[in-house]
Amino acid sequence: MDALQKYQNEVLEPEYLASLYDPEFITRQGLFFLSNHAKDDSLSGWLSNPKYLQQPHKLENTINHVHLDELVEDLEHQHEIGLILQQRWSDKLSKQFPEQEFEIKLALIEDSRWELQMWAKRDNPSEGS
């Protein structure tokens, strides 16, 4: 985890960060999820509700997003870690699902904290964020 070693003493949840740095992705019902965010019990509840399946990109992002302030408190370090994770996720997803495009977005949300977001791009323009 060389790219993140400089944050080692600041990271609030090192095991969780390690799982994000080397992510595993799964598919369920044509949707893409971080495996450590997609626990079967809660995921089946989401996937059984047609309301959530109407906008798959929103469901994917709801389950996949990461609040970087839960990993490190410093705003600048949140951004730096977010950029590293964004690239790692992009690399992993393009290898694991070469036929699928993804949106992986690092966003500064309203209360001044960084969030990493991810969903699959689909043909329907109403399914973008």
pLDDT in tens, 28-51: 999 999 999 887 677 888 898 888
Handedness of CA 102, 80, 26, 94 (dihedral sign): positive
Residue 59 in this model has a pLDDT that exceeds 60: yes
Specify the amino acid at residue 115: E
Q: State the Cα angle at 2 between 100 and 5, rounded to 5°.
A: 115
Residue 127 in this model has a pLDDT that exceeds 50: no
> Do β-strands 31-34 and 113-120 pair in parallel, antiparallel, or remain unpaired?
unpaired
Share of residues in the chain with pLDDT > 90 (%): 64
Mean pLDDT (whole number) for 85-104 = 97
The pTM for the full model equals 0.86
Whole-angstrom distance, CA of residue 67 vs CA of residue 82: 10
Confidence of residue 124 (pLDDT cuts 50, 70, 90): low
| φ/ψ of residue 66, rounded to 5 | -130, 125
Write down the pLDDT at residue 2. 67
Take residue 84 and report the two structure tokens written for it.
Answer: 């590293």
CA atoms within 13 A on the CB side of 31: 27
Write down the pLDDT at residue 8. 75
